[in-house]
């Protein structure tokens, strides 16, 4: 008997058909994978199952086909790249349920790897339809969920199949949960959270929950505009959620009551539009021209944010400081990435844009944990129970 560790248990997978939910939702352009980070993140779990002698069958979504077959969202490029990374041929099927799948699984040998078609080609997936989940589970002995990025969704391939199969967390799922648990339960202090991105509404819950735990909260990106607006500044043509003024005021009041440091930009980079080559200015929040918009944090803010970050023993970062895809507005985001990389402590970076930024800054290898689950990470840090985690053994 060959066992592999799963969720704190030693599980015998030898010769067993294992359905493994992975997150292969990778960017593809003209049939070519642009960034294979999520595929590489799944390799430890796949290799562990292979070494245990399992028949490894992988299932994932790709893009948003909305319950219909979309040719450009088929999993074929993923199968090709996965074959290269594993050094074995990964066969790919054109469906994820039915007789073809059942026959293919029956004919597999231990250590074989098979990739099923995009599960979101079926509308029943996102509806967590019980009968669809039963069909997904039918050919298998064990279910392993390694797709932390979808753990906040109660879908058929993340939650439904766990009603019919023994369900365990994969290596990536376990690593994500351990890193985020550390941020919530046992962070070393000083603890700094750096929150950016476009909207306050997307991150309001995590801001309020983190204030109970962090020493300093640094807010940048488009969401900082809403806080500046709430303080009475005129933001010109900047992205701003006017209906979130009271929420921003409540967060600032809570920080004051808890005696927590909440830092907003003291200077900003502005331009008429977020395009390469446009003239830019650095101004104070009370000097923003009415025909311009805030597109990055300014140099003084970068220095102050970096100073606070460098004193930390724990840092969580989610969301860029500006429109970093455009070189003229990338300075703030890249400086924050560089500062976090220098922290002598535990650092977690989450969210697709933030991960892209640390890659762009060339310092991804200096971050303690790169979280692949943007929305799932935020909901976990909000204190919410994730349905795709709750149904797994050894995670409760």
Cα distance between residue 376 and residue 206, in whole Å: 11
Could you confirm whether 375 is annotated as catalytic?
A: yes
Active site residue 388: no
Residues 6+ apart with CB under 8 A from 35: 26, 27, 356
Measuring CA to CA, how many Å separate 31 from each of 122, 150, 307, 337, 377? 22, 23, 43, 31, 29
The active-site residue, picked from 366, 375, 393, 394, is: 375
Positive or negative, the CA dihedral 117, 152, 196, 310 is: negative
Under DSSP, the state recorded for 144 is: E
Q: What is the largest CA-CA distance in the chain?
A: 71
Cα dihedral: 224, 225, 227, 232 (round 10): 150
In this structure, are residues 61 and 75 in contact, taking their beta carbons and an 8 Å threshold? no
Q: How many Cβ atoms are within 10 Å of 368's Cβ, its own excluded?
A: 15
Q: How far apart are CA 114 and CA 328, in angstroms?
A: 44
Among the options 199, 245, 254, 260, which is catalytic?
199
Q: Is 199 a residue of the active site?
A: yes
Distance CA 148, CA 160 (A): 16
- Residue 173: enclosing H or E segment and its boundaries? helix 171-185
Helix (H) or strand (E) holding 296: strand 293-297
Helix (H) or strand (E) holding 76: helix 76-86
**Pick the catalytic residue: 91, 352, 384, 393?**
352
For residue 250, the SS3 value is: helix
Catalytic-labelled residue, pool 38, 81, 175, 244: 38
CA distance 334 to 361: 6
Which residues partner with 217 through β-bridges? 193, 262
- Which positions are catalytic? 38, 199, 352, 375
């Amino acid at each position: 008997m060959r066992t592999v560790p799963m969720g704190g248990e030693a599980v015998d997978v030898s010769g067993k058909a294992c359905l493994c939910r992975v997150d292969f939702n990778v960017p593809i352009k003209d049939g070519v994978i642009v960034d294979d980070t999520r595929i590489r993140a799944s390799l430890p779990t796949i290799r562990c199952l292979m070494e245990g002698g399992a028949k490894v069958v992988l299932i994932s979504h790709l893009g948003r086909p909305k319950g219909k077959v979309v040719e450009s969202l088929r999993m074929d490029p993923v199968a090709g790249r996965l074959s290269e990374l594993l050094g074995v041929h990964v066969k790919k099927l054109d469906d994820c349920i039915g007789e073809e799948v059942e026959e293919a699984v029956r004919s597999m040998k231990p250590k074989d790897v098979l990739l099923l078609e995009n599960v979101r080609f079926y509308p029943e997936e996102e509806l967590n339809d019980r009968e669809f989940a039963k069909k997904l589970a039918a050919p298998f002995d064990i279910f392993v969920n390694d797709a932390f990025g979808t753990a906040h969704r109660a879908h058929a391939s993340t939650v439904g199949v766990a009603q019919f199969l023994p369900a365990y967390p994969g290596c990536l799922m376990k690593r994500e949960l351990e890193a985020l648990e550390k941020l919530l339960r046992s962070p070393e202090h000083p603890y700094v959270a750096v929150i950016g991105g476009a909207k306050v509404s997307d991150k309001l819950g995590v801001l309020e929950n983190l204030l109970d735990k962090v020493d300093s909260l640094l807010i940048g990106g488009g969401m900082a505009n809403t806080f500046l607006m709430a303080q009475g500044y005129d933001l010109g043509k900047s992205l701003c959620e006017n209906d979130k003024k009271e929420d921003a005021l409540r967060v600032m009041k809570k920080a004051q009551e808890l005696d927590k440091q909440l830092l907003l930009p003291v200077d900003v980079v502005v331009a008429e539009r977020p395009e390469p080559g446009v003239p830019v200015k650095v101004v104070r929040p009370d000097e923003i021209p009415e025909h311009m918009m805030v597109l990055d944090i300014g140099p003084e803010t970068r220095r102050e944010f970096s100073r606070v970050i460098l004193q930390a023993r724990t840092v969580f970062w989610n969301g860029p400081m500006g429109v970093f895809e455009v070189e003229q507005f990338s300075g703030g985001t890249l400086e924050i990435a560089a500062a976090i990389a220098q922290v002598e402590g535990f650092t977690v970076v989450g969210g697709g844009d933030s991960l892209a930024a640390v890659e762009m800054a060339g310092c991804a290898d200096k971050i303690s944990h790169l979280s692949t689950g943007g929305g799932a990470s935020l909901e976990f840090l909000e204190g919410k129970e994730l349905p795709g985690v709750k149904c797994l053994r050894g995670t409760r």
